[in-house]
């Protein structure tokens, strides 16, 4: 079952369990969001199109995070005049997880759990910059057998810091070798 909703001046085709990015919506992470502007509901071969909205249709979602989107570069130039301007813009966006769709006499709910881990935290974990604890390992559904490996990963940076650093060769020795080469 799917639905077409309208928010932020745009239309989105959503199904239960989908992760979507929409224009900025007010609310805290974990808040429930309801979309009453449902334009179409489809289930299998049946399609219910509203005129303009489907009566009684509701799409429910959970707000995961509000963040800035990708940067858009604006470049202006007037040729042969020495005029060049570069600017950038990052639009605010909200990330939602669709949890249920109700409409056309049908209702479908998503069985999964909504994780409120932000994209910034996932990126930091992928680069190995976020601290990993037993709680974080359990949250990402890692088995307990791998927990000691997580602790050893935390201890590794201290081993790297204790390693002796290489020193550069003194310049005086390099100058003496050049003079001996010239004399020969």
Domain ranges across the chain:
2-127, 131-165
Residue linked to tokens 């310049």: 171
CB 119 within 8 A of CB 95: yes
pLDDT at 103 over 60: yes
Q: Is residue 33 within 8 Å of residue 20, measured between CB atoms?
A: no
Mean pLDDT score, 50-58: 93
Choose among 88, 33, 94: nearest CA to 67: 94
Cα separation, 59 vs 34, in Å, equals 6
Query: Quick check: 24 pLDDT over 50?
Result: yes
Distance, CA of 142 to CA of 61 (rounded, Å)? 27
CB 151 within 8 A of CB 137: no
For the cut 60, the answer to whether the pLDDT of residue 148 exceeds it is: no
Nearest to 96 by CA among 152, 30, 43: 30
What mean pLDDT is predicted for residues 10-37? 95
Residue at token pair 């040729």 = 79
d(CA 154, CA 150): 7
Per-residue pLDDT for 108 more than 90?
yes
pLDDT at residue 23 above 90? yes
- In this structure, what token pair is assigned to residue 157? 């940076």
Q: Are 85 and 1 in contact (CB under 8 A)?
A: no
């Amino acid at each position: 079952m799917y639905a077409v909703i309208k928010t932020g001046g745009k239309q989105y085709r959503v199904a239960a369990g989908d992760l979507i990015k929409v224009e900025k919506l007010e609310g805290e992470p974990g808040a429930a969001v309801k979309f009453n502007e449902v334009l179409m509901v489809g289930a299998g071969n049946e399609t219910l199109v509203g005129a303009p909205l489907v009566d009684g249709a509701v799409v429910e979602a959970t707000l995961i995070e509000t963040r800035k989107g990708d940067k858009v570069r604006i470049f202006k130039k007037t040729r042969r005049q020495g005029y060049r301007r570069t600017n950038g813009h990052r639009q605010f966006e909200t990330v939602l997880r669709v949890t249920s769709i109700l409409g056309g006499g049908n209702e479908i709910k998503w069985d999964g759990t909504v994780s409120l881990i932000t994209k910034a935290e996932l990126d930091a974990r992928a680069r190995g910059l976020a601290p990993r604890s037993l709680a974080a390992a359990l949250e990402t559904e890692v088995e307990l057998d791998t927990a000691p490996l997580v602790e050893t990963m935390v201890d590794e940076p201290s081993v790297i810091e204790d390693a002796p650093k290489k020193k550069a060769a003194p310049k005086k020795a390099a100058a003496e070798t050049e003079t001996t080469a010239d004399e020969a």
